[in-house]
């Protein structure tokens, strides 16, 4: 079952500069950074009333975020829907004709299980199915 909007991902070129803006200018609650070297990204995590905002910077010129920024520029990258069972939700969506970028959930930030849906089937918005991991609270 889809429970909530878990987080919103924003692609950025300069994580330090943008982190400073969200912390100091907007005054958002900063939870920390997390590196995901297998995906070639580093994220800065903020919390706004139990919805996270993730600033995502590429660590590699061939990461999905680097490609996204090159094609579309910085900005909204995805909306993550929090679910109780990512595999079950993903399977149900695929049975209903929704194309998935990920054929099955994979490891995400904080030990989560994630899968992305094809934007051609979601109103041209990249949707992430997000099952919270047990390490989500241990951000650096």
Tell me what pLDDT residue 139 has.
44
Tell me what pLDDT residue 109 has.
83
Tell me what pLDDT residue 140 has.
42
pLDDT category of residue 136 using cuts at 50, 70 and 90: low
Q: What is the pLDDT of residues 57-70, one digit of tens each?
A: 999 999 999 999 99
Asked if the structure places residue 41 within a domain, the reply is: yes
Dist. CA 102–CA 38, nearest whole Å = 15
Asked if the structure places residue 136 within a domain, the reply is: no
The residue length of the chain stands at: 140
How do beta strands 29-36 and 75-83 pair? unpaired
61 touches 13 (CB < 8 A):
no
Asked if the structure places residue 70 within a domain, the reply is: yes
- Whether pLDDT at 85 is above 50: yes
Asked if the structure places residue 86 within a domain, the reply is: yes
Dist. CA 62–CA 45, nearest whole Å = 23
pLDDT category of residue 43 using cuts at 50, 70 and 90: very high
Q: What is the pLDDT of residues 97-133, one digit of tens each?
A: 999 999 999 998 888 999 999 999 999 999 999 999 8
Asked if the structure places residue 36 within a domain, the reply is: yes
8 touches 73 (CB < 8 A):
no
Dist. CA 85–CA 76, nearest whole Å = 25
CATH of the domain at 90: 3.10.180.10
Which value, to the nearest 10 degrees, does the dihedral of the CA atoms of residues 16, 41, 112, 139 take? -30
Residue 123 CA from chain centroid, whole number: 18
Mean pLDDT rounded to a whole number for the chain: 93
40 touches 66 (CB < 8 A):
yes
Q: What's the rounded mean pLDDT across residues 89-96? A: 97
Tell me what pLDDT residue 54 has.
97
Q: What is the pLDDT of residues 45-58, one digit of tens each?
A: 999 998 999 999 99
Asked if the structure places residue 81 within a domain, the reply is: yes
* pTM attached to this predicted model: 0.89
Residue 125's Cβ-count burial label (10 Å; 0-12, 13-18, 19+) is: exposed
Asked if the structure places residue 139 within a domain, the reply is: no
Full residue range of the structural domain in which residue 112 is found: 2-131
Asked if the structure places residue 7 within a domain, the reply is: yes
Per the structure, how many domains does the chain have?
A: 1
């Amino acid at each position: 079952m889809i429970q909530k909007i878990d987080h919103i991902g924003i692609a950025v070129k300069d994580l330090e500069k943008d982190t400073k803006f969200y912390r100091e200018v907007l005054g958002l609650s900063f939870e920390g950074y997390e590196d995901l070297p297998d995906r070639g990204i580093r994220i800065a995590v903020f919390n706004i009333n139990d919805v996270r905002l993730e600033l995502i910077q590429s660590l590699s010129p061939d990461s999905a975020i680097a490609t996204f920024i090159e094609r579309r520029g910085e900005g909204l990258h995805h909306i993550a829907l929090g679910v109780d069972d990512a595999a079950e939700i993903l399977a149900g969506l695929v049975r209903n004709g929704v194309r998935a970028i990920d054929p099955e959930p994979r490891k995400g930030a904080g030990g989560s299980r994630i899968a992305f849906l094809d934007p051609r089937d979601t109103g041209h918005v990249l949707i992430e199915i997000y099952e919270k991991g047990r390490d989500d609270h241990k951000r650096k």
